[in-house]
Structure 1
Amino acid sequence: MYVPPGWPAEVRPPGSPDWKVSAVSWLLDAVPPDYRAYGVLRRHPLALARMARQQVAASIQAAREGYRGAAVDLKEHLPPHAIEAVLDAYRQEGPRLVRLAESVALVERALRGEHFLPRL
């Protein structure tokens, strides 16, 4: 079964046995642990995917804002090398979050019934 680039390795291809179970497990790892307390999200993976999409988007926004303000906010409290290390962490986390958002979007599209076809 074809899955597009960016499909999470932990999620089985759509239509395969237990693919939705693997999607739920992966999506729950992408959101705060408290989301596990809501049975409705396990019963309705599309709702979980929607919430995960919003949560990851908020994390991306927070990382961007954090990066923009880190040097100013921390300059009186951390040495320059530590500030640069914090900025490096943001530089790594930002792209990771963007990739995660793309993967969540793919899983959500599959949960909505979209079929992926290879491009020639």
Structure 2
Amino acid sequence: MTMPQTLSPTAADWPSQVKAPGSHDWERTAARWLRDLLPARYAGYSTLTRNHVILARHAHLHVQHEIRAVRVALQTSRAELPTLGVSESVIENTIRLYALELDELSRIARGVRVISDALIAGSGVRRGRLRV
């Protein structure tokens, strides 16, 4: 099923799969997008599925850990992969892959931030926002 490609007029980082804040059913599309960022087993945790702010917070933490893991993998590739018998051409391709993934994860993290900010604003909470 294809989701509408509605963009928020206020946030360039707003994910295209999520309806604009304030539109009908936008929180459901936001929750679906956030859940898709997490391992499938998290769908069974009612605390996450019922509270979208908690879901956004957990997605933020999860994406930040992914970013750290990819950074470590990128930084250690040249030193560790040769010792595993990996050829230079595969190492170069792996480094390119990690660089692309880091860019993608950074884009996703910005999306999580704007979704989180919108969910928090909609919930009436006036506390600090997630830091990316």
Q: TM-score, normalised by structure 1?
A: 0.90
Distance 1:68 1:19 in 2: 38
**Unmatched runs of 5 consecutive residues or more in structure 1:** 115-120
Q: Which residue of 2 aligns with 1:117?
A: none
Q: Which residue of 2 aligns with 1:92?
A: 100
Structure 1 range deviating more: 32-41 or 8-17: 32-41
Please, what is the CA RMSD of the aligned residues?
1.2
Report matched runs for 1:1-120 at 5 Å: 2-76=9-83, 77-113=85-121
Aligned AA (1:5) = A
SS in 2 for 1:113: helix
Structure 1 range deviating more: 1-10 or 88-97: 1-10
Distance 2:38 2:77 in 1: 24
Residue 2 of structure 1 deviates from its aligned partner by 2.6
Aligned AA (1:54) = L
SS in 1 for 2:67: helix
- Partners of 1:3 and 1:13 within 8 A in 2: no
Residue 15 of structure 1 deviates from its aligned partner by 1.1
Residue 95 of structure 1 deviates from its aligned partner by 0.6
The list of structure 1 runs, each at least 4 consecutive aligned residues, that deviate by more than 6 angstroms after superposition, is none
Q: C-alpha offsets along residues 41-62 of structure 1, whole Å, 9 cap, x if unaligned?
A: 1110110000000110111111
Q: C-alpha offsets along residues 26-53 of structure 1, whole Å, 9 cap, x if unaligned?
A: 0011112221111221110110000000
Query: More relative contact order in 1 or in 2 (CA 8 Å, sep 6+)?
Result: 1
Aligned AA (1:99) = R
Q: TM-score, normalised by structure 2?
A: 0.82
Aligned AA (1:84) = E
